[in-house]
Amino acid sequence: MSNRQSSIARAPKPAFTLVELLVVIFIIAVLVGILIPVVGRVRRSAKSAATQQTIATIAGAIEQYYQAFHAYPGPIANAQIYNTNPANQPLISYAGTPALDKSRITMSENLVLGLLGGLIYDSTKTPTTVYNPDLIGAGPRNLTAANQKTTPSFLPKANLSDGLFKDDADSADDSIIPEFVDNFNSPMPILYLRSNVGAVGIAYDSDVSATPVQQYDLQQIIGYTGTDIGVGRTPEKPNVVNLKVHGLSSCNNTRSLDPTNANYYYPYDLYPYLTNPAIANTPRNKDGFILISAGPDRIYGTDDDICNFGSVK
């Protein structure tokens, strides 16, 4: 073999220099840094869209129920929701474990009983209205001896909690009856507020004032908004109040949603949140109902809440 051929045979193969390798690593790191937030936003948008669809589906089922029964769903009366007075609690029997705390039934749980069923008439029990979790999804029933007709469920048995809602942040103050939850990675209850039909005011706290002179009652949702549930809470703007407390956990008619107002309060108080922004001193969805998801930030009463009435403001 000639010297020239030997040199060619021994010639090193082309390779990346250390500088070139570092440049490639840097470019990859930049691309990953750009891609991760984009993927996160896409996923969040997808979860928000799915939750919007869930709320639209529930709202549609509520309207179907109204067409069938001329009332909004929930067999338990407004005054019996989340009522600590034994004389004013719903007359329901349940022999299972854990026990049914009738003083902690939320309006969101009442919605499930209305649309999916779960109560049955049983003359051998006292009271004769009996909660049976196995009947959730079988459809609501008439609860009298004379008429025990069953209506088909207004929704599939889906997007439900297991009852006694709990996540890694805290436990809700509710009962064993399940509620509808949203579509985020750590699902939270969808709040349901049912109006006091004919009431002239906007919102009140029946734990403070017993007379239902307002459309919406804080006690219907306080079992969730008065707790610290909500894994990974990430407010989209600085909060004026304690981060451990959700909005919609108090009812004060002096508070405002306007950041330029001296009474601005964030996360939002229930009273101004449920005020119609287009008509002063008028409730949202008068004589109707309201559905609320905590949205991507997992905080009730913030601008990204997903509601059946659209944008919060």
What the block records as the tokens of 297 is 């930030």
| Within a domain: 101 | no
For residues 250 and 270, is the Cβ–Cβ distance under 8 A? yes
Angle ∠(165,242,299) on CA atoms, nearest 5: 40
Angle ∠(100,101,105) on CA atoms, nearest 5: 100
| Within a domain: 60 | yes
pTM as predicted: 0.87
What the block records as the tokens of 170 is 């805290």
Contact partners, residue 15, CB within 8 Å, separation at least 6: none
| Within a domain: 89 | no
| Within a domain: 91 | no
222 three-state secondary structure? helix
Segments in the chain below pLDDT 70:
1-16, 36, 38-42, 212, 236-244
| CA nearest neighbour of 185 among 294, 34, 310 | 294
Mean predicted lDDT score pLDDT of the chain: 90
| Within a domain: 119 | no
Tell me the C-alpha distance between 141 and 184, whole Å.
32
Residue that has been written with the tokens 């939002």 in this structure:
268
pLDDT in tens, 95-140: 999 999 999 999 999 999 999 999 999 999 999 999 999 999 999 9
Q: How far is CA 8 from CA 2, 13, 14, 15, 16, in A?
A: 10, 11, 13, 17, 20
| Within a domain: 131 | no
Question: Total domain count for the chain?
Answer: 1
Domain containing 171 equals 20-73+160-313
Q: What's the confidence (pLDDT) of residue 37?
A: 72
Q: What's the confidence (pLDDT) of residue 32?
A: 75
Query: What angle, 0 to 180 degrees and rounded to 10, lies between the N-to-C axes of helices 107-116 and 18-69?
Result: 70
Q: Helices marked H in 181-244 — which ranges?
A: 222-225
pLDDT in tens, 162-177: 999 999 999 999 999 9
| Bridge partners, residue 293, by sequence | 306
| Within a domain: 43 | yes
| Within a domain: 58 | yes
